[in-house]
Chain A
Amino acid sequence: MMSMKELEKKLRDRFGEGVIDFAIPRKNRLIIKVDASIVKEIAMFIKENGFDMPISAGATDYPKDKRFEVFWVIWSSIHNLVLILKTDIDRDNAEIDSLVEVWRGVQKFERETWELMGINYKGHPKLKPLLLPEDWDEGYPLRKDFSLSPYKV
């Protein structure tokens, strides 16, 4: 059983400046904010340290700061910890490495985020519409600048 301090030390030793923030908001919960360019290496690293089950993935839109905050939520069955891996990307050029090669389970979550938020996951094997109609071309519904007024009854 590894403590959170140990994990923080390991991460900081290995990646240095790449780890922007390491927070423990409450018991059994970790939030790690990292640089977007090394997100895949960090994912590999934390998988090796026992975080084996992806619970969720998604993104948050911050139009004022012109950024998306992309996140993956991973649970460790060994340490009983929930880890949220976060990274910021540019809003105009929304691209990020896909983590499907690390955890296969994030495939559907990333596909959904791609569809609803318009975030392009590089290396994702199947970026096809999942929830929206097959012929959808009206934008990305979960972005803040998506207007709902045409749909009002």
Chain B
Amino acid sequence: MTEERVEFEGIYNKLPRPIRRIFSWGRSFSIWPVHLVTGCCSPEFMQAAGPRYDMERWGVLPMASIRQSDALFFVGNVARKMMKRALRLYQQMPEPRYVVDIGICTISKGPFYDSYSLVRVADYLPVDVMISGCPPKPEAILYGTMLLRKKILGDVDEGAGKET
């Protein structure tokens, strides 16, 4: 997985800077995430995607297929068994790919801090944006996607997929 990433970065970084800027500009306005709903932060995500907050204003369209998506949103607590499956999903995503944590459970296991079955996403995958809250408000999720967009735009200078 890491080798693929390095190879992609090599090709991407060889492109001239204006072209890279165009690429990432286009990418930043069409983040199509797959939301992996494993917990109860999902109603907040649904609200954020629904008509009231309407994430699609910024081009964030919840996607059904992992193979056509840009970002993987972890919505809710992730068990160890689920993490194996999530890793398989992540490997199927096209480059460049981004990972967003929604909710405190994915960041630090939250109220289940001593659970034997839950894991932190950051231990397994390079997480780009972490949205805290239990659950985070729809505004917070929108703010997180804004941060992700900023990060994608910033990739032009720093190189793709660079970790924060």
Closest approach, in angstroms, between the C-beta of B82 and any C-beta of chain A? 10
Ranked nearest first, the 10 interchain pairs of A and B with the lowest CB-CB distance are A148-B114, A152-B114, A153-B113, A151-B116, A133-B81, A153-B108, A141-B116, A153-B109, A133-B80, A151-B114
Interface residues in A135-153 (C-beta closer than 8 Å to B)? 138, 141, 146, 148-149, 151-153
A residues whose Cβ falls under 8 Å from a Cβ of B? 132-133, 138, 141, 146, 148-149, 151-153
How many A-B residue contacts, CB cutoff 8 Å? 23
Nearest A residue to B119 via CB reads: A151
CB neighbours (8 Å) of B80 from chain A are 133
CB of B120 closer than 8 Å to a CB of A: yes
Nearest B residue to A134 via CB reads: B81
Nearest B residue to A150 via CB reads: B116
Given contacts A133-B80, A133-B81, contact A149 B116 (CB under 8 A): no
A138 adjacent to B81 (CB under 8 Å): no
Over the window 98-132 of chain B, the binary record of Cβ atoms lying under 8 Å from chain A Cβ atoms (1 yes, 0 no) is 00000000001100011111001000000000000
B residues whose Cβ falls under 8 Å from a Cβ of A? 80-81, 84, 108-109, 113-117, 120
CB neighbours (8 Å) of A132 from chain B are 81, 117
CB neighbours (8 Å) of B81 from chain A are 132-133
CB neighbours (8 Å) of B109 from chain A are 153
Given contacts A133-B80, A133-B81, contact A148 B116 (CB under 8 A): yes
Q: Tell me, in angstroms, the Cα distance from A151 to B120 when the chains sit together.
A: 11
CB neighbours (8 Å) of A149 from chain B are 114
Q: Tell me, in angstroms, the Cα distance from A149 to B84 when the chains sit together.
A: 23
Closest approach, in angstroms, between the C-beta of B84 and any C-beta of chain A? 8
Q: Tell me, in angstroms, the Cα distance from A130 to B120 when the chains sit together.
A: 22
Given contacts A133-B80, A133-B81, contact A152 B116 (CB under 8 A): no
Nearest B residue to A136 via CB reads: B80
Nearest B residue to A146 via CB reads: B116
> Which of A133, A138, A151 is in CB contact (< 8 Å) with B115?
A151
Q: Tell me, in angstroms, the Cα distance from A153 to B116 when the chains sit together.
A: 11
CB neighbours (8 Å) of A152 from chain B are 113-114
Closest approach, in angstroms, between the C-beta of A130 and any C-beta of chain B? 11
CB neighbours (8 Å) of A148 from chain B are 114-116
